Structure 1
Amino acid sequence: MTIDAVHPWLALFLLANLLAGLWRVLTGPTAADRMLSTQLFGTTAVALLAIEADTRAMPALRDVALVFALLAAITAVAFVRRVWQPREGSK
């Protein structure tokens, strides 16, 4: 089995992960659960774009994947700075 035969199965697995993440976004009891699910969306988008870049031999898609990875990291930092509340008595 070649790697080209595995790409569609990897893409389907990643799309199934997105469905699981969507379920957590809709039912997540806390904002942190929802944020982690959106991080899953970003990570999955990066993985899907990397697979497509390899399958279609389009190196520009790798650049787009890197931009998505950077945006995912920035949104995580923004979420923590905006929502995270320090406990009383801590510095």
Structure 2
Amino acid sequence: MTAFYLGLTSFLLVTLAAGMWRILRGPSQADRMLAAQLFGTTAVAMLLVLAQAMEQPALRDVGLVFALLAAVTIVAFVRRAWPSAGEESGDDA
């Protein structure tokens, strides 16, 4: 069963290569950010699979921290890339 988990982790590593291509060739900043989110999601998946394969529960905790960081990153990107209507008009209400 460990070989299956390691094979699955290798497959996830290959999907990261596809994400790297999208980051390098993405037509817009949003495409690049979504590819970076793919990195975060894949890293969490890899950590969860490796935690199961190696019977290391600490890797699950690291995966959860990565998931939280990915969520914070996307919120920060959206707030920076698309300012709200009040910020565009320059009103200091």
The separation in 2 between residues aligned to 1:34 and 1:27, in whole angstroms, is 8
Q: CA deviation at 1:85?
A: 4.8
1:60-75 to 2 correspondences below 5 Å: 60-75=58-73
Matched-pair identity in %: 60
How many residues end up aligned between the 2 structures?
Answer: 86
Match of 1:78 among 76, 79, 84: 76
The separation in 1 between residues aligned to 2:25 and 2:84, in whole angstroms, is 25
Greater gyration radius: 2
Q: CA deviation at 1:4?
A: 2.9
Q: CA deviation at 1:8?
A: 1.8
Match of 1:57 among 55, 58, 66: 55
Q: Give structure 2 stretches of 5+ with no counterpart.
A: 89-93
TM superposition score normalised by structure 1: 0.87
In structure 2, give the amino acid aligned to 1:15.
L
1:1-91 to 2 correspondences below 5 Å: 3-85=1-83
Question: Residue 27 of structure 2: SS of its match in structure 1?
Answer: coil
In structure 2, give the amino acid aligned to 1:38.
A
